[in-house]
Amino acid sequence: MSFHDQIERRRTFGIISHPDAGKTTLTEKLLLFGGAIQEAGAVKSNKIKKTATSDFMEIERQRGISVATSVLAFIYRDKKINILDTPGHKDFAEDTFRTLTAVDSVIVVVDVAKGVEEQTVKLVEVCRMRNIPIIVFINKLDREGKDAFDLLDDLEQKLGLSVTPLSFPIGMGYDFKGIYNIYEKNINLFSGDSKKNIEDTIAFDDIENSELDDIIGVSAAEELRDNLELVNGVYPSFDKESYLLGEQQPVFFGSALNNFGVRELLDCFIEIAPSPRAKMAEERLVEADEKELTGFVFKIHANMDPKHRDRLAFVKIVSGTFERNKPYLHVRHGKNLKFSSPNAFFAEKKEIVDISYPGDIVGLHDTGHFKIGDTLTEGEQLNYKGIPSFSPEHFRYINNADPMKSKQLHKGIDQLMDEGVAQLFTLEMNGRKVIGTVGALQFEVIQYRLEHEYGAKCTYENFPVHKACWVDPEDEKNEEFKEFKRVKQRFLAKDKREQLVFLADSQFSLQMTQQKYPSVNLYFTSEFK
């Protein structure tokens, strides 16, 4: 197969949603349809012994939520599909935002009963800023929920999307009879009382045909005809070009738990979703079909395999091919590195690959060379941008609870911060360590992972800070900056990259500082460097 064909057959996408909308369940069912697993797991791990394939960390299995992005790959109808299943919980949003730099399209999952929720709004905003093509999957149709048209209005008003339904439900909740697939012009029926399997897929070009009344009943048929007439009158017909430009968003209805509507979503997805796209570096636009390799690290994960205490850097390949044992330039270090065992992923299962193509995610064993945002090339000085660290909103002092294990604690904190789990600040005044996170639940994850992966114990103390801002003075030598450092000494710290950070204790203090020291620029993301 030619290099160009390999690029064309790849689809790399992320699945995003509010917690509990059914994102990880949908991922499982996509894997099931792709033949990648034999039995789908559930995320409610306290009730069901088999956990979801994409939730591989022990804490995820205990809490029944996803706390880290996982990467899964499988082949479906000769297309190589790379799924990045992201955490939905807002406390882990930073991992999701970074993952969105590595995808070519996304599927947004919405709960039929709850509609568009707060976290979905933030994630879709990030996708729209980057013009990422979006498909919406409205899930849990076997439960009572909002009217389909209300949900479509919700998507347009709250998310600012321009939607076009490609399938439409026949009834909902207890009256749910199936789905009319507008894209393929057929009807999928629920089977009997078990509602577990799809009984039939019936080709149906003409919904005016009286056979429809026999199949789903007269009143349901009339309602479907009225609904489809309204869909045709109100919503634009699907235009693939508009979808790829991020200007139109197709909508599918279904129930991931019952395998319903998932195949239709997958079949349409592999037809319309983009193959690997060009990506903007700081220096130039890089096209996927360029012969020379470029790629960037969007995630680092330590201890995926508890037996080996390994650390993996996840690299998204943007152009060229990544070959085993071939030297590549680590742009930030200016060093050539070789990788003898690059991995392809299936959640925590890994296999060594000899060659990978644009769109693929490769795991590289890392002994501390990489940090998030690093670029690999075949010699070109190139830097991919757009992987920010966000200003944390929760802060605590971290203390060592076991003085005999201070080495392990230091190593654990160091590696977890490299992963981007949280951010570490060292106070200028007394050298105390402060951990800042986007969400409070991260502190639990850090404590749990330090103990179970590094054998170190820590305790926390409250540290009342409102916001962390990265400091970038216009002139480091001017008097204003010197006075700022002297007056704010108690609130200054260095981050892991030795950048100066101002820890403002209140919104008022932050505003006053900005007014009093206008030449000292304060940033809420570290992306400005």
Average pLDDT, the chain: 81
Query: Are 142 and 195 spatial neighbours (Cβ–Cβ below 8 Å)?
Result: yes
In a domain, 459, yes or no: yes
Q: What is the pTM of this model?
A: 0.75
Last residue of a domain, one of 344, 377, 410: 377
Tokens describing residue 424: 């570490």
Distance CA 376, CA 281 (A): 12
Distance CA 141, CA 254 (A): 6
Total domains, the chain: 3
**φ/ψ bin of 178: left (φ > 0), alpha (ψ from -120 to 50), beta (otherwise):** left
In a domain, 212, yes or no: no
Q: Which domain holds residue 302?
A: 279-377
Q: How many CB atoms lie within 10 A of CB 301?
A: 26
Distance CA 133, CA 273 (A): 8
Query: Are 257 and 140 spatial neighbours (Cβ–Cβ below 8 Å)?
Result: yes
Distance CA 446, CA 461 (A): 14
Residues 6+ away with beta carbon under 8 Å from 59: 67, 444, 445, 448, 449
Do both 18 and 138 map to the same domain?
A: yes
**Helix, strand, coil % over all residues of the chain, rounded to 5:** 30, 30, 40
Identity of the amino acid at 204: F
3-class secondary-structure state, position 54: coil
Tokens describing residue 289: 């079909």
Do both 261 and 128 map to the same domain?
A: yes
pLDDT for residue 389 is more than 60: yes
In a domain, 225, yes or no: no
H helical segments located in 164-288? 211-216, 218-234, 240-244, 262-272
In a domain, 304, yes or no: yes
Segment 268-280 shows an average pLDDT of 90
Do both 102 and 155 map to the same domain?
A: yes
Distance CA 500, CA 492 (A): 7
pLDDT digits (tens, 9 = 90+) for 324-381: 999 999 998 899 999 988 887 664 466 788 899 999 988 888 877 888 888 999 989 9
Do both 263 and 398 map to the same domain?
A: no
In a domain, 224, yes or no: no
Residue 293's pLDDT band (cuts 50, 70, 90):
very high
pLDDT digits (tens, 9 = 90+) for 57-88: 454 445 444 334 467 788 888 888 888 866 54
Do both 409 and 486 map to the same domain?
A: yes
CATH number of the domain where residue 456 is located: 3.30.70.3280
3-class secondary-structure state, position 502: strand
Last residue of a domain, one of 343, 377, 411: 377
pLDDT for residue 413 is more than 60: yes
Q: Print burial letters for 388-404: b (CB count within 10 Å at least 16), e (below 16).
A: bbbbbebbbebebeeee
Do both 359 and 439 map to the same domain?
A: no
pLDDT digits (tens, 9 = 90+) for 468-494: 888 988 888 888 999 999 999 889 999
Distance CA 235, CA 399 (A): 57
Last residue of a domain, one of 248, 272, 296: 272
Identify which has the larger pLDDT, 304 or 5.
5
In a domain, 177, yes or no: no
Do both 253 and 365 map to the same domain?
A: no
pLDDT score recorded for residue 502? 92
In a domain, 183, yes or no: no
Q: Which helix (H) or strand (E) element contains residue 493? A: strand 492-494
pLDDT digits (tens, 9 = 90+) for 135-193: 999 988 878 888 889 999 999 999 889 999 998 888 877 777 888 888 888 887 766 44
CATH number of the domain where residue 70 is located: 3.40.50.300
Do both 18 and 159 map to the same domain?
A: yes
pLDDT score recorded for residue 44? 37
CATH number of the domain where residue 340 is located: 2.40.30.10
pLDDT score recorded for residue 51? 47
Do both 308 and 407 map to the same domain?
A: no
Share of the chain above pLDDT 90, in %: 26
In a domain, 227, yes or no: no
Do both 301 and 338 map to the same domain?
A: yes
For helices 262-272 and 23-33, the axis angle rounded to 10 degrees is: 80
pLDDT score recorded for residue 235? 92
pLDDT for residue 202 is more than 80: no
Do both 51 and 160 map to the same domain?
A: yes
pLDDT score recorded for residue 204? 65
Do both 9 and 136 map to the same domain?
A: yes
